[in-house]
């Protein structure tokens, strides 16, 4: 049996899925046909539903929930790991609601959190996350929202943080930040969904128990990232919520959608979201 699977190139995804994709665990006869892409591309592909299982930003999920459900394993939630709003060092006082802002995708949770924190900032342009810093440094744009490993290196590259959007979320809600979900199409049989969810949990557990085993797969897509940054990235984004959302994780996700709906950022709150 074959399942089409979309994952991002980020170290937390390649770490999480390595054992599953490369059959370092027993996958119960399931072959995973993998597409590796930027999370915003995966968000867009979910709109047409061509992948049976895929990584999604939680913001994007609100637009496709009628076709996908969230697996209990694999999500990126946590504390102190949210997106950062940055500008060139020395330009902090010049940033205002008229500034030109870069975001790593309209459907990303980073954009959702930015919209909650800065509702008056309307001049936003989508950009591949890795191109945000160079475009700010060149003066083409004034500021931007960074995600992934850039949070560990922005200061040494000459940028200043205007706001930690994760801290904003935590201070407002006292819940973990729902960043990325692993979702599966609703037309997949329920017993298969449950099997895949268990396999994904086992894949994470294998990676945790064999931390060097996924190095080749991780470095295949993260060649420009230094090893210490890779380790920090994985430690931050792969945590207990990745093994299971639990009541706290599910409550945080519901809170995200409730707040987004109350601010009229999304038209309706998703229902029947979770595979249990």
pLDDT digits (tens, 9 = 90+) for 228-270: 888 888 998 999 999 999 999 999 999 999 999 999 999 999 9
Cα torsion angle, 117, 121, 126, 130, sign:
negative
Q: Token pair for residue 153?
A: 């290196």
DSSP state of 29: T
pLDDT above 90: residue 167: yes
Q: Quick one: pLDDT band at residue 114, thresholds 50, 70, 90?
A: very high
DSSP state of 273: -
pLDDT above 90: residue 227: no
pLDDT above 90: residue 61: yes
In the block, residue with structure tokens 């996908």: 68
Q: Which residues are catalytic?
A: 148
DSSP state of 274: B
pTM, 2 dp: 0.93
Q: Quick one: pLDDT band at residue 224, thresholds 50, 70, 90?
A: low
Q: Whole-angstrom Cα distance, residue 51 to residue 83?
A: 26
Q: Quick one: pLDDT band at residue 64, thresholds 50, 70, 90?
A: very high
pLDDT digits (tens, 9 = 90+) for 123-164: 999 998 889 999 999 999 999 999 987 888 899 899 999 999
Contacts of residue 253, defined as CB under 8 A and 6 or more positions apart, other chains included, come to: 58, 70, 77, 178, 181, 245, 273
Q: Whole-angstrom Cα distance, residue 212 to residue 111?
A: 33
In the block, residue with structure tokens 């940055």: 86
Q: Whole-angstrom Cα distance, residue 7 to residue 78?
A: 19
pLDDT digits (tens, 9 = 90+) for 193-217: 999 999 999 999 999 999 999 999 9
Q: Whole-angstrom Cα distance, residue 192 to residue 194?
A: 5
Q: Whole-angstrom Cα distance, residue 37 to residue 258?
A: 29
Q: Token pair for residue 179?
A: 């960043």
Q: Would you put residue 90 in left (φ > 0), alpha (ψ -120 to 50) or beta?
A: left
pLDDT digits (tens, 9 = 90+) for 6-46: 999 999 999 999 999 999 999 999 999 999 999 999 999 99
Residue 48 has a CB neighbour count (10 Å cut-off) of: 9
Does residue 42 sit in helix, strand or coil?
helix
pLDDT in the model for residue 223: 65
Residue 197 has a CB neighbour count (10 Å cut-off) of: 21
Show the DSSP H helices in 174-238 as ranges: 190-209, 215-221, 227-237
């Amino acid at each position: 049996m074959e399942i089409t699977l979309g994952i991002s190139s980020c170290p937390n995804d390649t770490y999480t899925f390595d054992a599953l994709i490369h059959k370092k665990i027993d996958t119960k006869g399931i072959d995973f046909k993998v597409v590796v892409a930027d999370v915003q591309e995966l968000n867009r592909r979910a709109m047409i539903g061509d992948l049976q299982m895929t990584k999604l930003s939680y913001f994007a999920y609100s637009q496709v929930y009628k076709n996908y459900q969230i697996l209990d394993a694999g999500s990126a939630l946590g504390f102190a790991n949210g997106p950062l709003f940055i500008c060139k060092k020395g330009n902090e006082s010049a940033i205002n609601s008229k500034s030109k802002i870069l975001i790593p995708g309209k459907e990303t949770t980073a954009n959702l959190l930015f919209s909650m924190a800065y509702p008056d900032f309307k001049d936003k342009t989508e950009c591949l996350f890795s191109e945000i810093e160079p475009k700010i440094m060149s003066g083409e744009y004034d500021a931007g929202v960074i995600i992934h490993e850039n949070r560990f290196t922005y200061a040494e590259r000459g940028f200043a943080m205007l706001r930690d959007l994760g801290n904003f979320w935590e201070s407002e809600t006292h819940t973990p930040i729902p960043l990325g979900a692993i979702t599966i199409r609703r037309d997949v049989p329920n017993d298969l969904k449950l099997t895949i969810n268990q396999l994904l949990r086992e894949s994470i557990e294998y990676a945790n128990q064999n931390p060097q085993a996924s190095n080749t797969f991780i470095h295949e897509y993260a060649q420009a990232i230094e090893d210490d940054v890779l380790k920090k990235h994985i430690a931050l984004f792969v945590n207990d919520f990745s093994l299971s959302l639990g009541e706290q994780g599910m409550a945080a996700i519901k809170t995200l959608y409730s707040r987004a709906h109350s601010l009229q950022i999304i038209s309706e709150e998703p229902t029947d979201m979770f595979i249990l």
